[in-house]
């Protein structure tokens, strides 16, 4: 497998495809669904359900307009920081798996930033029974940096009635509604947590190997 050596290469390989898929789906949902509208994908397992949230992944939010602005600003700083971090990892010859994880997280962060930053200015407000318009006559529903994130995936599977934990029976296994950007972040973070020992061991092992080679050369 050919190793991608540049930040632009990783952007084209992972970040851009995730962003395109995320934004195409969000725009389609925004212009085709009213708030709360549902459509089954796999009955009893997963559906499309359009909601908008002012917060983080899976609908978690900070209260108030100040919280919204703080969250969007944090996303922007985090996305820039992730780009610099990925560039540094490339220079250090980091494990391919680590580079892929950071690229997925970066893609998800940028995807949700786009919603927060510009959707409020580009679309009219989505409401119950009313589908939004793109660049409508009435203008957007919020200023720049104050838009809402579009979410649409909802797991409808429920814990079975025989489940031993009483308070969980017949409740949804995973209630939050999410989007592809959230999924990209989750894939990156979960894989990173599971494989961190392998991902971070490679540069150390490489450094030890190079030190040993240098020592052998010096002794010779």
Phi-psi region of 76 (alpha: psi -120 to 50; beta: other; left: phi over 0): alpha
Query: Is 40 in the active site?
Result: no
Burial class (CB in 10 A: 0-12, 13-18, 19+), 21: middle
Each as own residue / partner, the long-range contacts of residues 210-214 (CB below 8 Å, 24 or more positions apart, any chain) are none
Residues 48, 41: contact at Cβ < 8 Å? Answer: yes
Number of H helices and E strands in the chain, helices first, is 6, 4
Distance CA 102, CA 94 (A): 11
Continuous H helices in 33-166: 64-91, 96-114, 120-122
User: Residues 22, 40, 115, 182: which is the catalytic one?
Assistant: 182
User: Residues 22, 92, 115, 151: which is the catalytic one?
Assistant: 151
Query: Is 151 in the active site?
Result: yes
Helix or strand run (H / E) with residue 30: helix 16-32
Residues 6+ apart with CB under 8 A from 154: 38, 46, 47, 48, 49, 177, 178
Tell me which residues are annotated as active site: 151, 182
């Amino acid at each position: 497998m050919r190793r991608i050596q540049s930040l632009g290469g990783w952007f084209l390989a992972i970040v851009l495809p995730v962003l395109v898929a995320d934004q195409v789906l969000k725009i389609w949902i925004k212009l085709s669904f009213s708030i709360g509208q549902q459509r089954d994908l796999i009955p009893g397992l997963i559906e499309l359900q359009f909601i908008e949230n002012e917060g983080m992944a899976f609908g978690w939010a900070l209260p108030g307009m100040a919280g919204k602005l703080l969250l969007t600003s944090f996303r922007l700083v985090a996305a820039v920081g992730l780009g610099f971090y990925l560039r540094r990892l490339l220079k250090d010859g980091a494990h391919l798996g680590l580079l892929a994880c950071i690229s997925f997280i970066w893609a998800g962060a940028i995807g949700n930033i786009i919603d927060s930053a510009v959707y409020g200015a580009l679309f009219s407000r989505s409401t119950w029974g009313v589908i939004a318009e793109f660049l409508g006559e009435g203008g957007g529903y919020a200023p720049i940096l104050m838009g809402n994130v579009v979410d649409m995936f909802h797991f409808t599977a429920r814990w079975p009635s025989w489940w031993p934990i009483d308070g969980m029976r017949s409740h949804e296994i995973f209630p939050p509604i999410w989007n592809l950007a959230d999924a990209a972040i989750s894939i990156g973070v979960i894989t990173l947590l599971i494989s961190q020992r392998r991902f971070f061991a490679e540069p150390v092992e490489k450094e030890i190997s190079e030190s040993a080679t240098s020592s052998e050369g010096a002794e010779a």
